[in-house]
Amino acid sequence: MTKCNFGPCEKEVSKDAKCCSKTCANLSRWGATDFDGKITKKICTNCGNEFEVRRSEEKRRQRKCCSPECANAKKSATHKNKIVSSSQKAKQREAMLGRELTKEHRAAIGRGVAGKNNSHWIDGRSQQKEGAADYNFEFTSTLRTTIKKRDGYKCKKCNEDGTSFKLFVHHIDMDKHNNSEENLVTVCGSCHGKIHGGSLSNDFS
């Protein structure tokens, strides 16, 4: 009796056999160093680094990138500036129709397009908003929400709660660069227009 020809295997075989099983015979033929199978070396298609893949890892054998980060980067580069046909857009809309997103998923989407990640970002100002250049980067949505919350989400002139008119954050001294909380107050769209038109007092004392 002799030992199996595949090194890590401790089983004994008859003198006429080289390996104890087909598995050990294949592992020996592949040059494997253990029972996890043959090690195949590949070059990452994204970063160019060399990485190893086991023959036994069926799902990983088709891998072209060394890590999930590289795979995502490669996918992003492939789809960047790619023109999507109207028919493909229709299919995407149909696939998303009726799909319910969790609160966490919606928040993650929001973070992904917030601030400098937004295509309209210019020092915190929107390209589309008329008069946006009059405001500086301090007058953020977070600040406006803070002021509205402080004022109980009600107009400090008429007590409107946003049902009939949209709520705005108004600069009391009319200086759009003075964004201290003491200079900001919540007003409804109606009162805001009247204040700037001069038909309603700008006194909030």
**How many contiguous H segments (helices) and E segments (strands) does the chain have?**
7, 6
Is 126 within the bounds of a domain? Answer: no
CB 13 within 8 A of CB 19: yes
Q: What is the DSSP string of 40-107?
A: EEEE-TTT--EEEEETT-HHHHT--SSSHHHHHHHHHHHHTTPPPPHHHHHHHHHHHTTPPPPHHHHH
Question: pLDDT tens for residues 5-64?
Answer: 778 887 888 877 888 888 888 777 777 777 766 677 889 988 999 887 776 555 555 788
Mean pLDDT of the chain: 82
Alpha carbon 201 to its chain's center: 45
Is 25 within the bounds of a domain? Answer: yes
Contacts of 137 (CB under 8 A, 6+ apart): 123, 124, 125
Is 102 within the bounds of a domain? Answer: no
Q: Of 56, 78, 100, which residue constitutes the final position of a domain?
A: 78
pLDDT of amino acid 130: 46
Q: Which domain holds residue 53?
A: 2-78
pLDDT of amino acid 60: 55
Question: pLDDT tens for residues 57-78?
Answer: 555 557 888 888 898 888 888 8
Is 116 within the bounds of a domain? Answer: no
Q: Which amino acid is at 88?
A: Q
Query: Is the same domain home to 10 and 72?
Result: yes
Q: Of 63, 78, 93, which residue constitutes the final position of a domain?
A: 78
CB atoms inside a 10 Å sphere around CB 66:
20
Query: Is the same domain home to 74 and 7?
Result: yes
Kindly indicate the confidence band of residue 134, based on its pLDDT and cuts at 50, 70 and 90: low
Q: How far apart are the first and last CA of the chain?
A: 102
Is 59 within the bounds of a domain? Answer: yes
Is 144 within the bounds of a domain? Answer: yes
Q: Of 78, 93, 117, which residue constitutes the final position of a domain?
A: 78
Average pLDDT over residues 97-109: 86
Is 98 within the bounds of a domain? Answer: no
Provide the domain count of the chain.
Answer: 2
Is 105 within the bounds of a domain? Answer: no
How far apart are the C-alpha atoms of 193 and 160, rounded to whole Å? 14
Query: 3-state class of 133 per DSSP?
Result: helix
pLDDT(95) > 60: yes
CB 34 within 8 A of CB 8: yes
